[in-house]
Chain A
Amino acid sequence: MSVKHSLLALLYEKPRHGYELKTGFEALVEGLWPLNAGQVYTTLDRLERDSFVESLSHDKKDRKQYTITQAGKEELWFWLNEPVGRSLFKDEFYIKFLCASHVSYDNKKSMIRDQKETILKDILHLTHLRKQMSLSGNDTMKLLIEGALLHLEADMKWLERIEEEL
């Protein structure tokens, strides 16, 4: 969840002020991840402290503009090149399942059924979104959704498998 690096990516294009970063970020994620102004400013403060961005003179409307520094660009490249691992317990349902077994929870069946229902809901939601991204020509976002859908499909298969074993 790197708001920090997303802001660096936005500043890589051109200098922007805080509000432009908020709207730029929301456009980047197609409005699917709202960012509050406070979050933008605290992140900018940290980025400035680490010398990844610099503030420029205020613009005509007296808003502080930010620009990316060379160190900021290097940080962005470094981050882009860093592979992302996936921990076994990243999915909270895994740890839930583990705990349910630990306490011999006798409602595992309904737990799994409800989880499947949630996954199906997510699948419907994302396929609809995929359609919208396809119509608006946002191919990158479409690829992201496809990735998420493949994960959901795998989750679904796994749940069916453990359902069989119960």
Chain B
Amino acid sequence: MINVVSLTKDYKTGKEVVPVLKGVDLSIKAGEFVCIMGPSGSGKTTLLHLLGGLDTPTSGSIQINGKELTSQSEKNRTLLRRKEMGFVFQNYQLLPTLTVYENIIFPLHADGKKASPGDVDELLNAVELKGYENRFPHELSGGQQQRVAIARSLIHQPSILLADEPTGNLDRKRSGDILDLLAKFHYEQKQTIVMVTHDMFAAGYADRIILFKDGVIEAEVKREDEDYARFLARFMA
């Protein structure tokens, strides 16, 4: 589970201090599928990076499965991240000189662990990339690259998956396939998923939608809420 209290993040550019997150409180239960929406520049990626320990907050607290992330040493934070979290980045970020197979097992490698061929096979099947394991990223379509990125994010069986616009650059068909894939993993393995998206078509997959604006949570709505759809539609329209 994820627990965030009074989280802020300022970026310093030259002498200027730019507040990007201005006090975020957020609690996400284990196994929840949450979606974060909001205008460009509102701080969604920044929040996701802080949750994943890729960057440090200016103030506030982040607890991941009961452990305070902000008080960990850089090294421990990295260990925690590698054990508990999987990342799907806004632009795939596959390693260009590694094959599909090597990209997928990379998180294990970084951790000094061995990949079990069975696990990799299962993931390759799940993302429908069997037979592509020796290709390089530039030999794949956008949708295929994103599927590699998803397999890579899940190889170490993280309890939390952080996905930044996983369907961002894909057409309807391919983005639908990616969402189905996430839904399938979520259904079978009950990871906590935090997905940032601009896409209403993706938002429908989440249990809860958090609406972000200008560095704070402006509103949130759960699927079971009575006026869930109307509320969101109002917000979007």
Chain A residues engaging chain B, CB cutoff 8 angstroms:
113, 116-118, 120-121, 123-128, 130-131, 134-135, 146, 149-150, 153
- Judge whether A116 and B237 touch: CB under 8 Å: yes
Give the nearest-CB partner of B173 in chain A: A146
A131 in contact with B233 (CB, 8 Å): no
Residue of chain A at shortest CB distance from B182 = A131
* Residue in chain B with minimal CB distance to A128: B204
Query: Are A131 and B230 closer than 8 Å at their CB atoms?
Result: no
Q: Which residue of A lies closest to B172 (CB)?
A: A150
When distances are taken between beta carbons in the complex, the residues of chain B under 8 Å from A124 are 200, 203-204, 228-229, 232-233
Could you say which of B180, B201, B223 contacts A134, with CB atoms under 8 Å apart?
B180
Which B residues touch A131, using CB under 8 A? 179-180, 183, 204-205
CA distance A125 to B228 in the complex (A): 10
- 3 nearest interchain CB pairs? A127-B204, A120-B233, A121-B229
Q: Determine the chain A residues whose CB is within 8 A of the CB of B179 once the complex forms.
A: 127, 131
Q: Is B41 an interface residue (CB 8 A)?
A: no
**B176 interface residue, CB < 8 Å from A?**
yes
Give the number of chain B interface residues (Cβ < 8 Å).
Answer: 23
- Nearest A residue to B199 via CB reads A127
Assembly CA distance A123 to B172 (angstroms): 13
Chain B residues near A127: list those with CB within 8 A: 179, 200-205
**Residues in B whose Cβ lies below 8 Å from that of A117:** 230, 233-234, 237
Residues of A near B234 (CB, < 8 A) are 117
Contact with A along B92-106 (1 / 0, CB 8 A): 000000000000000
Q: Measured between alpha carbons, how far is A26 from B175 in the docked complex, in Å?
A: 30
Q: Is the CB of A118 within 8 A of B201?
A: no
Nearest chain B residue, comparing its CB with the CB of A112: B237
* Nearest B residue to A126, CB-CB: B204
Asked if A118 and B233 sit within 8 Å, CB to CB, the answer is yes
Interface residues in B75-125 (C-beta closer than 8 Å to A) = none
Partner of A130, one of B176, B187, B230, B233: B176
- Asked whether any CB of chain A lies closer than 8 Å to the CB of B184, the reply is yes
The A-contacting residues of B in range 192-236, CB under 8 angstroms, are 200-205, 223, 228-230, 232-234, 236
Q: Which residues of B contact A125 (CB under 8 A)?
A: 204, 229
A–B pairs, 13, beta carbons within 8 Å: A116-B233, A118-B233, A120-B233, A120-B236, A123-B201, A123-B204, A127-B200, A127-B202, A130-B204, A131-B180, A134-B180, A134-B184, A135-B187
State whether A135 touches B183 (Cβ < 8 A).
Answer: yes
B155 to chain A, nearest CB (A): 22
Choose from A118, A120, A128, A146 the contact partner of B176 (Cβ within 8 Å): A146
Query: Complex Cα distance A125/B200, Å?
Result: 10
CB distance from B214 to the nearest CB of A (A): 22
Q: Taking the nearest CB of chain B, how far is it from the CB of A127, in angstroms?
A: 3
Residues of A within 8 A of B229 (CB): 120-121, 124-125
Task: Find chain A residues with CB under 8 A from B202 CB.
Answer: 127
CA distance A96 to B141 in the complex (A): 43
Given contacts A125-B204, A126-B204, A128-B205, 17 further A-B contacts (CB under 8 A): A113-B237, A121-B229, A121-B232, A121-B233, A123-B204, A124-B203, A124-B228, A125-B229, A127-B179, A127-B200, A130-B176, A130-B180, A131-B179, A131-B204, A135-B183, A146-B172, A149-B172
A134 to B175 CA separation, bound complex (whole angstroms): 13
Please give, as numbers and ranges, the residues of chain A lying within 8 Å of B205 by CB-CB distance.
127-128, 131
